[in-house]
Amino acid sequence: MTELAKHKNSPSLLARYEKVFSVLFKYGFEDVLAHPPFNRFLPKFNKYIPRREGKPVYEFTRYERIRMVCEELGTTFIKFAQIAANRPDVLPEELIAELEQFQDQVPFIPTQDIVSVITEDLGKAPEELFERFDREPIASASIAQVHRARLVGGKEVVLKIMRPGIDVTIEEDIHILKQLAGLMESYFPQYEAFQPMELVKMFERSIRKELKFTVEANNLRRFAQQFRGNERVYVPDLYPEFCSDRIICMEYIDGHKITDLDTMQQIGYTGPELAVAGINLYFEQVFEHGFFHADPHPGNIFVMPDKKICFIDYGMMGAIMDSDKELLADLLLAVSERDVDGLKQALLRFTPDGTVENEKELDYDIVEFFDIYSSMTLDQIEGTEIIEGLNAMFFAYKIKIPGNLLLLLKALVIIEGVGLTLDPHYNIIANIDPFVRRLLRQKYGPDKMAKRAVKTLADITKMATGLPEDMETIVRKIREGKLRIEFEHKGLEGLYQKMDEVSNRMAVSILLAAILLGSSLIVLAEVPPYVGNIPALGFGGFVIAGLIALRLAISILRHGKF
């Protein structure tokens, strides 16, 4: 039984529903008031409108209000916003800009609660397990809190400990998010393009991984394995005997933040040298190992006194298949060479059937995309602008990109920012080019081509040997009258939906007219009993008709159809 099942009818879940809907009503109602014809009444009721930053909330944009909703609802919704910000193919750029403002910093929780988690999971109090345990945390995030400790024998470690009860809170909020996503898809078609249910499912998959620290421990082991023997990389040691689903214990890294340029010079690195060395290691993760750190901000990259580079925090990692690596290489190479047709073909390979609506418009958008950089040399082009331009095309043409590729594109923006901090002239497009070309050389190398030829030959042989039997089966079914052909109608869903809406409204209108007519006859016939001087049945009919008419009017206004 899940934690949610235990608490499904609990007061905490009901209270959470009340909080969520009150906040949604608060900002959603203001969203209605901010638009005609209701906004003309605002001056009369302005004093009753909630205010943020000294002004009424209806003066903020819709996307700012979405951010405020997540902010006010706390941990789970903030985390949802952060993860949703990784989907530029689904959400508009303006909304992503708002969601990216969240910082994963929250107040410290009482040390006694942390001690309770350690005691429950490891069987002993921290003072019995460690030579020293620092009760003062060194960092705190929405999911966990970090404390330093010293093992018996003197080894310095850090303990990442999950916040008590956060798993139950997140389960409750996932349940509520699914309900809200279902309502949005059913009753608010203007938000259908945002794929709310898909976003919630993506969040659910991601947050469940974060809630199991054994996954992070396995990520660290895998990362250490792929860089074993590499003298340029330092990977922290893991201490499994002090790990659990809610605790991860690893070596404390006594290194220096990669952007601390003064210290880097003392170690022996110049900014440009470090930019190339550190980011080339990142490209190696992506293009050679296919397993990469998905949050490479400066606080997660350290340089050791012996010049080795160390990545920390393995909670958010990405994996990329060989086929997607090759597809990404084709995409980046087309950008590098300003190849219009190459970029178009690479984009179309992301779509299920290799096509998009308004394909001609896509041609012109790609030409315009390259025209912006036509007068620039390669080292003048910023990778961030390139990726933002690609994201805009993903969204405009509803090109759905695999989640890990989007995670990688966002990570490339972050890593370029690190590179520019170290070297103002750093250019990620120029530096990624050798890795891309090497990958494509491997793709079309003799070994790969030979393997593909053998596989293709095997597939052809299998199909040819099975063809007589398949033909015999088809002929037999034709003779027996059992051959069935299925037809799939495409493009009619919108028509069906409109017909359904029209028929529903006609049915409601007929019902409304019948109630009004029947109520009028009862009033004219003066059928007792009475409410005042009006027949009660007739009066009740008018009230019901009024409510139905109001509901019908709201539905029409919501969809903007008159």
pLDDT tens by residue, 365-418: 888 888 877 666 656 667 777 888 888 888 888 887 777 887 888 888 888 888
Inside any domain, residue 380: no
12 with 99, same domain: the answer is yes
Average of pLDDT values for 270-289?
A: 91
Inside any domain, residue 8: yes
Structure-block tokens of residue 340: 């219009």
- Residue 430, class by beta-carbon neighbours within 10 Å (0-12 exposed, 13-18 middle, 19+ buried)? middle
Average of pLDDT values for 27-42?
A: 55
324 is catalytic: no
470 with 505, same domain: the answer is no
Inside any domain, residue 323: no
Specify which of 237-251, 435-449, 482-496 reaches the highest per-range mean pLDDT.
Answer: 237-251
Q: What is the mean pLDDT of the chain?
A: 80
Inside any domain, residue 460: yes
Q: How confident is the model at residue 558 (pLDDT cuts 50, 70, 90)?
A: low
553 with 469, same domain: the answer is no
Average of pLDDT values for 224-248?
A: 94
95 with 8, same domain: the answer is yes
Range of lowest pLDDT (41-55, 302-316, 516-530): 41-55
The percent of residues in the chain predicted with pLDDT above 90, rounded, is 22
9 with 99, same domain: the answer is yes
89 with 11, same domain: the answer is yes
* Number of domains, the chain: 3
Planar angle of CA 207, 211, 215, nearest 5 degrees:
100
Q: Which domain holds residue 84?
A: 3-103+192-209
Planar angle of CA 4, 211, 96, nearest 5 degrees:
95
Please identify, among 484, 505, 533, the residue that sits at the C-terminal boundary of a domain. Answer: 484
506 with 535, same domain: the answer is yes
Please identify, among 456, 484, 512, the residue that sits at the C-terminal boundary of a domain. Answer: 484
pLDDT reported for residue 562: 44
Inside any domain, residue 64: yes
Inside any domain, residue 515: yes
pLDDT reported for residue 4: 47
98 with 66, same domain: the answer is yes
Measured distance CA(337)–CA(347) in Å, rounded: 15
Check: pTM over 0.85? Answer yes or no.
no
Which of 295, 306, 353, 379 is labelled catalytic?
A: 295
Inside any domain, residue 355: no
- Whether the per-residue pLDDT at 193 is higher than 90: the answer is no
7 with 87, same domain: the answer is yes
Query: Quick one: which of 211, 244, 229, 47 has its CA closest to 129?
Result: 244
pLDDT reported for residue 394: 83
Inside any domain, residue 68: yes
Q: Are 267 and 255 in contact (CB under 8 A)?
A: no
pLDDT reported for residue 1: 45
Q: Are 211 and 173 in contact (CB under 8 A)?
A: no
Average of pLDDT values for 213-219?
A: 93
The percent of residues in the chain predicted with pLDDT above 70, rounded, is 82
547 with 455, same domain: the answer is no
501 with 461, same domain: the answer is no
18 with 58, same domain: the answer is yes
